[in-house]
Amino acid sequence: MIPILDHKHHDSPSIFSPDGLLRQARRQKAVPLGKVPQICLLDPDGDLCRHLRHSGAHLNRHWACYHTEMVELAVPAATIGVVGCAVGASFAVLVAEEMFASGCRLLLSITSAGQLLPTGTPPYFVLIDRALRDEGTSYHYLPPTPYARISPAMLAFAQTVLTGELRIVRGGAWTTDAPFRETEEAIAFAHSEGLLAVEMEAAALYAFAEARDCSVICFAHVTNQMGTIENDFEKGEANGNKALVDLIARVAQAWGKRQ
């Protein structure tokens, strides 16, 4: 028996649900019933969240998650609910489940990533169209396959933001649970698969999205070469937040036109 693959019963409902958890969280924390913004963002690095808090941004008062806070980002077309520091597949999907149970309709994930096949000098963004399932969470949502993929509808929508001044390319990513086990052999395999970046959330988020019929778009913010060069992990102007907000605003504007 291989526990990560066996006894998953993908078509069976879960006894434990985000609705049940949030109901108890609201009761215990006296959180008023209401909805979070329609567009939410996972900010695994937390840099945008910290910037927003230091700038006096408001917390969303309807977000009842036990583990995180949601900060509100105002962009021209929408208010975005931002949750920081949900690093890794299992944490990201736990928060994603709670976001959609709380009123989210579009989830963006923009995560720092290591460069695999270079398409330029970091930093730049990759619209992740497929993610190698080298993590554990996706197998609880979908049967085993090598890749989890963005939905065709979300890919068509997301490609509308690929033009303009932002440096964005489309391609595949390797989703790992163990960043400090990115061995020479594993990296060589990722190269052979034509993957552009390595990160920790996309495969699980896309599997969740397919299983739950939710709208999810994952971007990798390629900021580093895995610490193999000096002056690595530089994210750009304002610690990468300017480019991040520009990307979010562009997606929000396109989403508003779509509704």
What's the pLDDT at 237? Answer: 67
* pTM of the predicted protein model: 0.96
- Residue 221, CA distances (Å) to 19, 105, 195 in order: 32, 23, 14
Within 8 A by CB and 6+ apart from 44, the residues are 84, 85, 86, 87, 88, 92, 109, 111, 112, 200, 201
The residue behind tokens 């995560």 is 111
What's the pLDDT at 225? Answer: 75
Over the stretch 150-205, which tens digit does the pLDDT of each residue have? 999 999 999 988 877 788 999 999 999 999 999 999 999 999 999 999 999 999 99
- Three-state SS at 184: helix
Rounded mean pLDDT of the chain? Answer: 95
Pick one of 3.40.50.300, 1.10.3720.10, 3.40.640.10, 3.40.50.1580 as the CATH number of 31-258: 3.40.50.1580
DSSP state of 11: T
- Residue 193, CA distances (Å) to 103, 130, 157 in order: 37, 11, 25
- Is-contact 175 134, C-beta < 8 A? yes
How many C-alpha atoms does 152 have within 13 Å on its Cβ side?
Answer: 0
Within 8 A by CB and 6+ apart from 179, the residues are 114, 198, 200
- Is-contact 240 123, C-beta < 8 A? yes
What's the pLDDT at 162? Answer: 84
What is the CA angle 7-9-11, rounded to 5? Answer: 175
Amino acid code (one letter) for 251: V
What's the pLDDT at 229? Answer: 64
- Residue 219, CA distances (Å) to 99, 170, 192 in order: 18, 9, 21
Strands 216-224 and 195-199: unpaired
Residue ranges per structural domain of the chain = 31-258
Amino acid code (one letter) for 75: V
What's the pLDDT at 231? Answer: 63
Over the stretch 202-244, which tens digit does the pLDDT of each residue have? 999 999 999 999 999 999 999 987 756 666 667 766 677 899 9
